[in-house]
Amino acid sequence: MSHISTAVILRRTGRLRAGTAAALLACLCLAATATRAQETATDDIDPNTVERLQNLDPQTDTNDTTGLSATTNANAGSATGTDQQTTGTTMNTTSAEQSETEGEDENFSRVASDGTRENMPVLRVEDELRPALPDNPYEPLGIRLGSFLLKPSTTQGLGYERTTTGDSSESRSFSTTTLKGTLQSDWSRHQLTVDGEGTYERNISGEGQTEPRVNINADLRLDLADDMIGNVTAGYTFEREDSTDPNAVSNASVQSDVHTFTAGARLERDFGAIRGTVALDGTREIYGDAELSDGSSLSLSDRDRMEGRLTARVGYELSPALIPFLESYVGRSVYDEERDSAGYARSSDSYGLRLGAAVDLGEKLSGELGVGYERAKFDDSRLKELDTVTVDGSLNWSPQRGTDVTLGLTTSIEPSTTAGQSGYVSYGTNARIAHMLRDNLVASLRGTYERRDFKTSAIDDQNVYLVGTGLEWSINRTLAMTGDLSYERTTQSGSPDTGVTRAGIGLVMRR
């Protein structure tokens, strides 16, 4: 009985071994067939297709990726022939990849028919918190304050000044401390920009008038609509009146402090090729007391005034780079005191007209230039009217990379404080050239000229010339050294010439 059972077991074991061997042989044949199909499919792919697959950009259009996948699947299907399971698997995988790619492209960006992006890719949170570094390795990065970027700097310097008037002269050595900063918003719409600078001077030796300065300006741009932009501006300026100014107090040891407050609103709208602008600006000037050489003070409150101006401009866009315009304005100046210390009513009305053109050729050339006429009429009939032809404009030109040229022209009517005199017309021009000698070394050369024309009196014209040069060396992003040298000369017939020489160096710390 035992012999019979053993024989049966041996027969069944033999059959199992034979079945296992047959299954293993079938698997090897199937694997060999699949491997040869893949090799055949790879050999049949066009070399150009292989090169496109190797150089495929992750942001390549989805249609290109789908086309390449379809070509590869077609070649693989032709090589495998009856292997429908492998082909089906490849097609399913391709469809899944295609759907995933289309989903990513739809989430990140849309491409218009002209090839430009309608919206930029969404950055990761860590990318937004880590802004890209500027191209210049010496440019400060600034400080992120929520949705604002602050770029502060402080400068500590030493200076020397020598003033010569006729045969007399005086000199002084002084220290300067300057705080400067720019605050700019990073909003999706609208933009707020605040610029501020303040300088404090302290004499170390010698005699001479210090020149403290403060200048703060704010500009809020409102994107009201696709073709309409509004601007709201405000500012404050503090300076000490120059001793060579025609309205300066003679024999004063310290001239008057001048506080100037400004505010304005502007609305710009495009009507096709026509551009319209309406602006309303206000100015408030307050004069402090002047200190006389005998130690007493002189009140100049009769010079305090307010001025408002309404401006309208119409321009026509011949091209995005050239827009001629016609501008008109009316203004009113009102003094706090109806009559000054000499008994004259100096409040006045003014109006003007200007014709010009604005040019915008990008970084190479931009600016505007206008020629017009301005007239001022005073409330006091004893004061003659002032009128003049005006030339105003500014031009920014970059002849080559690293070189910037700035040109400016100004014309303005300035009131007088002398009894019986209406005022004078100021014609000014300025130029500045800045050249980057190296990535961290910038040299500059500047010059200004102002002619003060006393049209309604027998006073001779006054001329003011200034030339200067400067150098700025950036040690790194946070430290820089500056140097400056200038000479200013004021001439007027019947009066001694005045020359002022200034020189200074400074250490700048910035973020």
Q: How far apart are the C-alpha atoms of 229 and 220, rounded to whole Å?
A: 10
pLDDT, residue 227, reads 86
Give the Cα separation of 507 and 511 in Å (integer).
14
pLDDT for 82 equals 40
d(CA 369, CA 174): 40
Residue that has been written with the tokens 């309303």 in this structure? 280
* pLDDT given at position 267: 96
What is the edge-to-edge ordering of all strands in the sheet holding 290-292?
A: 252-254, 290-292, 297-298
C-alpha torsion 13→14→19→21, nearest 10: 110
Mean pLDDT by 10 residues, the chain (511 residues): 38 43 48 48 47 46 41 41 42 43 42 43 44 70 94 97 91 96 94 97 92 96 91 97 90 92 96 95 96 90 96 96 97 95 94 96 94 96 95 95 95 92 95 95 97 88 96 96 97 91 97 91
- pLDDT reported for residue 387: 95
**What are the CA-CA distances from residue 153 to residues 134, 143, 235, 477 (Å)?**
18, 11, 20, 11
pLDDT recorded at residue 123: 45
Structure tokens at 143: 């400080």
Reading the block at residue 276, the tokens are 């319209």
Tokens of 404: 């910037």
Cα within 13 Å of Cα(281), Cβ side: 14
Contact residues for 304 (Cβ-Cβ < 8 A; gap 6+): 285, 286, 287, 335, 336, 337
The amino acid at residue 466 is L
**Amino acid (1-letter code) at residue 482:** T
Task: Report the run of H or E that residue 96 belongs to, with start and end.
Answer: helix 84-108
Q: What is the pLDDT of residue 363?
A: 87
SS3 content of the chain, % helix, strand, coil (to 5): 20, 55, 25
Express each pLDDT in 67-81 by its tens digit. Answer: 434 344 444 344 344
Measured between alpha carbons, how far is 152 from 137 in angstroms, rounded to an integer?
Answer: 17
**Contact indicator for 173, 162 with CB cutoff of 8 Å:** no
In which residue are the tokens 């003007």 written? 352
Q: Which residues sit opposite 426 in a β-bridge?
A: 412, 452
What ranges make up the beta strands (E) of 166-304? 168-185, 191-206, 213-225, 228-240, 252-254, 257-271, 274-287, 290-292, 297-298
Q: Which domains does the chain have, with CATH numbers?
A: 2-108 (no CATH), 143-510 (2.40.170)
Q: Locate 16 and state its tokens.
A: 């199992």
First-residue to last-residue Cα distance in the chain: 101
The burial class, CB within 10 Å (0-12 / 13-18 / 19+), for 43 is: exposed
- Its pTM stands at 0.72
Both tokens of 62, joined, read 């989805």
d(CA 111, CA 61) in angstroms, rounded, equals 9
CA 443 – CA 469 distance, rounded (Å): 8
φ/ψ of 351, rounded to 5, equals: -155, 160
